[in-house]
Structures are given as C-alpha cells and as structure tokens.
C-alpha cells in the first residue's frame, strides 16, 4: 500500500511547488482520486497514525475547544479509552450567528498542546482559505466541514499545503461530488486526503442526518482514498452514536471520528450528541470484535 507521508524537510504550513495535474486522457475526469484497476489503496499518514492501513483509526474529542482545562481533560479521557488521534473545533461553522463560534487561533493552540500532552496528532476545521496556512503550521490534519465541501477556493488552498486533509461529505452532496472535491485538493499537489461520511439530508427527521452507510462500500469502488465515518453528526443524539459507529465499522470504514466531552451537559456545542467516557469505553469494547473479524486491529 502506498503510504503518503510528509517529506521530513518540508515545512507543513508552506506552500508546495507541485504543479496541478491535468486529466491524463479525455474522459479521465478524476485521474488522481479515482480507483484504477489493480491499484492499491492509499494509506494517509498523520504523524505516526496511518489511516487506511492495518489498524482501524479511532479519532475522538469534543465538538469545540472551549478552554485549556476542558481540552486537556478531553485528551486524557479519549487517550485512556484507545483513541489515537484527537479532534476539536476552534473555528466553528455554526448555523446561528449567535451560537458559540469557537476560540479561533488560541483554540488551535490549546488543542495542539493537549495533543502533545497525550501524544496524539490533532485534526481541526479550517473555515477560511486565508487561515489555512497558519492552521497548517500548528495542527496535524485539516478538516473541511460538510458546509464547505464545495468551497472551491478553500479546497484549492488546501491543495497547495503539505498537510493531510479530512474532507467531510456535504449534507446534500453525492458520493461522486465528494470524490470530485477530493480531486480538487489533489490536483493542487496535496494527495493526502481522507474522506468522511457524516450523514446527509433526507426526508427523515428522526435523526439529525441520515447516515449513508452505503457510501462506505460505494466509495471503496470509486476511490483508493481512505474513508472514515462520523456517526455523531448523523445521530445528533448520544444513544444513536454507538449503533451507527458499529454499523460503519461493519460496512468497512477505515476509522471513526466521534464527539466526546468530559462533561457533555456543559458542552458549548453539540452537547446532545457528545459521548461520555463510559460511552466511549462501551464503543471500543463493541468495536473490537467487528474490526478483528476484518483482519484489522483497533
């Protein structure tokens, strides 16, 4: 499996010199992201963590970075339960302008410090193209949120950076459009892209979004890129997160990204879907046999 890691001499926040790659032949619309016959699956390296390899990747953390104390406690909690990477938003794309918008750059720094304290690489969302370079100098992986999957200016900017990208599916985007968005990033020279299914909008309103489990095996036929699942934003409520996570693993996802908070009742963002420490423990225990049956380790 080709393992895509960052050349040690490169500075992550700096732009790469790679030239955009045009389609190789007419009709070859997605030359970089598409899976070709006989092609091996790509493993994306984020620090020491390999996404898409022999290990199933568990990424966990709060929706938002709220304070040094909260994010340190969250880091300790998720590490003790088996997470290998940490999440936490500092730039939050909130539906209401009056909701907590995140701590911005100080929040990124708190997340990075917490990740260092517990030896976990971190992923955080980038909202604006002009912030991408600065966030890339701090965080290990850059997240494109569902609301920005087709923010082409942002995708192009991330394509110039030497940092892996977690690209979430837009809530009204087809799987093909998700792969096309990945191609945008790759065409700029950055090939380290991980896709994420996080639920789409349907007529169903019993859940926050409808987790499109079929997207996992479908994407495996369309692209060589790793695919992880976010059951938290699909569920919207805590008690549905674990069953959706297990279904995602059974469907062949390469990992999960889940929201966990040391005190969910106090969370400033997405409190209803935040897992407790005990929930995460239960999730990991139930994941193990599923992942093992696929010849993978957790």
181-200 residues in contact with ligand PEP (CB under 6 A) are 198
Q: Pick between residue 220 and residue 233 the one whose CB is nearest to ligand PEP.
A: 233
User: CA–CA separation, 115 vs 75, rounded Å?
Assistant: 7
The answer to whether 123 contacts Mn ion (rule: CB under 5 A) is no
CA angle 93, 197, 233 (to 5 degrees): 50
Q: Which of ligand PEP, Mn ion, none lies near 131, with the C-beta cut-off 5 to 8 A by kind?
A: none
Q: Which of Mn ion, ligand PEP, none lies near 146, with the C-beta cut-off 5 to 8 A by kind?
A: ligand PEP
* Biggest alpha carbon–alpha carbon distance for the chain: 55
Of 70-78, 210-218, 221-229, 262-270: span binding Mn ion (CB under 5 A): 262-270
Measured from each CB, the residue nearest to ligand PEP is 145
User: Residue from 136, 146, 181, 280 that binds ligand PEP (CB under 6 A)?
Assistant: 146
The answer to whether 270 contacts Mn ion (rule: CB under 5 A) is yes
Q: Pick between residue 131 and residue 230 the one whose CB is nearest to ligand PEP.
A: 230
User: CA–CA separation, 34 vs 252, rounded Å?
Assistant: 18
156 contact partners, CB below 8 Å, separation of at least 6: 129, 184, 185, 188
Helices (H), the chain: 68-81, 105-117, 129-138, 152-159, 175-187, 215-222, 231-235, 238-250, 277-293
Question: Where do contacts with Mn ion occur on this chain (CB under 5 A)?
Answer: 63, 270
* Positions that interact with ligand PEP (CB under 6 A): 63, 89, 93, 145-147, 168, 198, 230, 233
């Amino acid at each position: 499996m080709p393992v895509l890691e960052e050349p040690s001499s490169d500075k992550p926040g700096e732009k790469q010199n790679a030239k955009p790659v045009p389609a190789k032949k007419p009709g070859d619309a997605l030359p970089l992201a598409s899976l070709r016959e006989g092609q091996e699956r790509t493993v994306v390296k984020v620090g020491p963590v390999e996404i898409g390899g022999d290990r199933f990747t568990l990424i966990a953390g709060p929706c938002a970075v709220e304070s040094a104390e909260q994010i340190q406690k969250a880091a300790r909690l998720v590490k003790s339960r088996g997470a290998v990477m940490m999440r936490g938003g500092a730039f939050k794309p909130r539906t209401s302008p009056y909701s907590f918008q995140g701590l911005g750059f100080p929040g990124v720094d708190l997340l990075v410090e917490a990740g260092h304290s517990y030896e976990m690489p971190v992923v955080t969302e980038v909202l604006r193209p002009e912030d991408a370079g600065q966030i890339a100098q701090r965080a290990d992986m850059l997240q494109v949120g569902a609301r920005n999957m087709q923010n082409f200016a942002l995708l192009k900017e991330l394509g110039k950076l030497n940092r892996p990208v977690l690209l979430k599916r837009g809530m009204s985007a087809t799987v093909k459009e998700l792969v096309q968005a990945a191609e945008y990033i790759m065409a700029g020279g950055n090939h380290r892209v991980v896709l994420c299914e996080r639920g789409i909008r349907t007529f169903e309103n019993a859940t926050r979004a409808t987790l499109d489990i079929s997207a996992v095996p479908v994407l495996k036929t369309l692209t060589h890129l790793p695919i992880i699942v976010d059951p938290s934003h699909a569920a919207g409520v805590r008690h549905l997160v674990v069953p959706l996570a297990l279904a995602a693993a059974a469907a062949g996802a390469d990992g999960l990204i889940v929201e966990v908070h040391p005190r969910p009742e106090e969370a400033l963002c997405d409190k209803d879907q935040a897992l407790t420490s005990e929930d995460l423990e239960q999730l990991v225990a139930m994941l193990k046999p599923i992942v093992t049956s696929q010849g993978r380790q957790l």
